[in-house]
Amino acid sequence: MTSLPPFSGVVDLAALAAKRQRGQQADGPTDGPQTMTEANAGEYLQESVRRPIFVLLCSSVAPQCDELKERVVARLARYGDTVGLVTVDVDAEPGLAEAFQLQAVPAMLALIAGRPVPLFQGTPDDAQLVDVFAQVAQVANQAGMAVSDSGEAPVATTQDEDGDPPLPPLHQAAFDAIEREDYGAAIAAYDQALKENPKDVEARAGRAQVSLVARGRAVDAATVRAAAANARDDVDAQLAVADVDVLGGMVDDAFDRLIEVVRVSAGNERERVRARLIELFDVVGPADPRVISARKRLASALY
């Protein structure tokens, strides 16, 4: 997204989203950023379906972090409640640092519809921060979110007692089901939301993410990869390893694999693979360059 040096992290969405919300829960808006922990990371992934969440990774041994945090808070204030900001103390949360495959601090990423978007590492100047945040806002708006800076009137919303805009009832039901790890109920809630509004982008993305996590929660990656290697004409095996690849951050590998299966298959099997690809596109995000490229290649394989 920017010429700033990125960090090459990939989030294990399954591991984070499967965490029960057993620790500190997010508070309402405060004078400073909230804190992401392993216990509440799944909550922020879910929240990123309705608004982008900026994640600033810091360490007590990096003195430049405090100064950068102040500038980030000041520059994001123009977006109000249309974005969120959390910090990660990598000294206290080594599991999150590992999940993000952090190479240096400070570093920053954004979560958009559950998808991590690396932004920068180091300490960019104010002009670079403004540019990066504007790019994230543009991507989020393309994904159907309503992100606005101080030059635009934010969309008016009713707030709950904690100060946060409430989720639609069916989205809240899905979130509650995710908290108790009842993925079937979460999928059913999203299905009902899509039945009532087929254009509900957040419900479609949420359903795709929950479905992927549900399929991958009890899978052994090594076993799945071996099965796919030994049975290249087994559609189920190829679908399973594509899930493993997306959960592990190897998105291009997953897309390439399934597009090739579409190319050589026919009938019901071809349609199953096409439908799974569309679902994985929703997981990764419609504005992601990998999705845009894969859609073109899928169209070529189909027609």
The model's pLDDT over 72-81, given as tens digits with 9 standing for 90+, comes to 999 999 999 8
Q: What is the largest CA-CA distance in the chain?
A: 60
DSSP characters over 50-90: TS-EEEEEE-TT-THHHHHHHHHHHHHGGGGGGSEEEEEET
For residue range 166-209, list pLDDT tens digits in order: 778 998 898 888 888 898 999 999 999 999 998 888 888 889 98
φ, ψ dihedrals at 185, nearest 5°: -65, -35
In CATH, the number for domain 169-302 is: 1.25.40
**Average confidence (pLDDT) over 247-276:** 91
- Residue 37: name the closest of 52, 64, 57, 8 by CA: 57
- As a whole number of Å, the end-to-end CA separation of the chain is 32
Judge whether 219 and 240 are in contact, CB under 8 Å.
yes
C-alpha span between 163 and 175 (Å, rounded) = 18
Tally of helices (H runs) and strands (E runs) in the chain: 13, 5
- At 73, the amino acid letter reads V
C-alpha span between 300 and 297 (Å, rounded) = 5
CA distances from 140 to 6, 106, 203, 232, 302 (A): 19, 23, 15, 37, 29
For residue range 98-130, list pLDDT tens digits in order: 887 778 889 999 998 888 888 888 888 888 898
Q: Where are the domains of the chain?
A: 13-142, 169-302
pLDDT at site 237: 92
Side-chain-side CA neighbours of residue 207 (13 Å): 19
- At 270, the amino acid letter reads R
For residue range 132-167, list pLDDT tens digits in order: 898 898 888 877 788 887 644 344 444 555 455 677
Does the structure show a pLDDT above 80 at 29?
Answer: no
C-alpha span between 265 and 235 (Å, rounded) = 9
In CATH, the number for domain 13-142 is: 3.40.30.10
Q: Could you tell me the two tokens for 267?
A: 């009938």
pLDDT at site 21: 36
pLDDT at site 164: 52
